[in-house]
Structure 1
Amino acid sequence: MVPMPPSAKRPAGTAGPFTPRDFQLVLLRRMADHNPDLVEDARRGLGASLADMREANKRWQAMLRSPRARAAASRYRSVLGPPESVTARTIGDLECEARQWPLSLWPDLRFEVLVAPNGVVWNEWLVRAPGAPAPELHTLDDLTPWSCVVDEAARAFAPARPLEGTAPTRWGLAFTAPDADGVRRKVAAEFTWGLLQRTAVGG
C-alpha cells in the first residue's frame, strides 16, 4: 500500500470534489463487515478517519441515487480521471471495453469497469494489474482475505461455480480445494468489489 501524499488528504467535513481517495474509502466501507482490521490499516494508510469513510460512503450513495446522476461510466471517469488503459474485450458473443484505473491501496490491482458499446456498465471490480505476479493458490491456507481476485480463485480451483452475492458489489464462488493434509473440501468464497473477503469450508 502506498501512503497518500498530504496534498491528497482533505480535512474532515470539508466539501469538495469526490476524489480517488474518497472512492477507495467507499470500497473499504463495503469490506469492513468481514475484515475490520485490514480495513482499519488501509484507512489509516489513506490518512482517513472513520468519519471520513462514513462521509465518503454517504456522498457516493447520494451520487448514485441523485435524479441527475451521471451514467456509471461517466461517473468513474469524473472520480478517477482518465483510465490508465482501455482495451477491447470479447466475452462470449458480446463486445465490450475494459477500462482500468490504478488505486494507491492496492498497487498490484486495478479497478476495472466493463463498458458495453452503448455505454452501459456491465461489471465493476478489482482485477490483477497487467504484469503483476499472480498469487500462488494451491490449498485452503492460501485463500486468505485480500489474497486474490475472483478470476484467480476460479482458475486455481477450477471448475468453480458462481454463487449469488449476499449484497450489491459482492460475488461468490463455489469450488473444492485441498486442505493442508490434501483432503479436498467444499468451499464457498465471498468477494467484495472482486477481492476475496472470506471463505466457508464444508466437508
Structure 2
Amino acid sequence: MPSAPRPAGPFTPVDFQLVLLRRMADFNADLVDRARRELGASAADMREANKRWQAMVRSRRGRPAAAPPGVALVRSALGAPESAEPRRIGDLECEALRWRLPLWPDLRFEVLTGGDGSAWNEWLVRAPGAPAPAPATLEDLTPWSCTVDEVARAFPPARPLPGTAPTRWGLAFTAPDAHGVRHEVVAEFTWGLLQCTAVRG
C-alpha cells in the first residue's frame, strides 16, 4: 500500500530537492528513485512537494512585494545562501547566490539575480574547489555527470537550444565516440544538470 504524503508544513531543503528531482524524473526515473529514497521520501512526497512549489511560484501572497519570486522562494526553503558574489555577464552586472544541497555535494544551486532584484537564472553548477569532470567522448556524457557549462567547454562550439519545458536547456555539438568517430549530438539538461544525450542522423 503506498504511503501517504507527509503533512504540509514549512517548505524544507528536502522538499526543494524533491522539486528538482521531479523535473528530472522524465529522463532518469531510476536515478531519481534512488535519490528520493536517500532523502527518506516517497513518490507521493515528491509529487506533493512539486505541487506545493508550483502553487507558491504562482502565488503573490506570503512574500514582500519587493522580493523577487525566485530568490524569495529559494531563500524560504534553503535559508541564507552559502555564498554571494558579484558577476558580470557581458555589459550586465548581477549577483550569483549559491546554496549547498546534500544530494549533490559537489554542486551548488545557483540563482543569478539582477540589480532590480529579478531572478535571471536558476540551475546547478559545480561547487568551487570540487573536481570538475573533463568529458572527452560521447561515452563520458552519463546522466548527472556534467553541468551545462562543463559540456559546452568540453565540446566547443556548442550551440544552445531552446528548452523543451521550464527548467530545461539543450546543447547541440559534435563529439567523438570511444572509437574516434565524430557525431552530431544533442544533450538535454534539467536545472543545469545533464540528463541524456541523443545522436542525430
Partner of 2:184: 186
Structure-1 separation of matches of 2:25 and 2:8: 24
Instruction: Give the C-alpha shift of residue 66 in structure 1.
Output: 1.3
Partner of 1:47: 40
SS of the residue 1:78 aligns to? helix
AA partner of residue 24 (structure 1): Q
What's the TM-score once normalised by structure 2's chain length?
Answer: 0.94
Structure-2 separation of matches of 1:154 and 1:28: 23
Partner of 1:22: 15
What's the TM-score once normalised by structure 1's chain length?
Answer: 0.93
CA shift in 2, pair 1:69/1:142, >3 Å? farther
Unaligned runs of 5+ in 1: 1-10
Structure-2 separation of matches of 1:67 and 1:46: 29
Counterpart selection for 1:109 from 107, 110, 115: 107
SS of the residue 1:185 aligns to? strand
Partner of 1:32: 25
Partner of 2:66: none
SS of the residue 2:84 aligns to? strand
Instruction: Give the C-alpha shift of residue 13 in structure 1.
Output: 3.0
Structure-1 separation of matches of 2:189 and 2:198: 12
Instruction: Give the C-alpha shift of residue 69 in structure 1.
Output: 6.0
Counterpart selection for 2:77 from 67, 76, 79: 79
Structure-1 separation of matches of 2:178 and 2:196: 18
Instruction: Give the C-alpha shift of residue 143 in structure 1.
Output: 0.3
Structure-2 separation of matches of 1:21 and 1:13: 12
AA partner of residue 9 (structure 2): G
Structure-2 separation of matches of 1:15 and 1:69: 16
Poorly superposed stretches of 4+, deviation over 2 Å: none
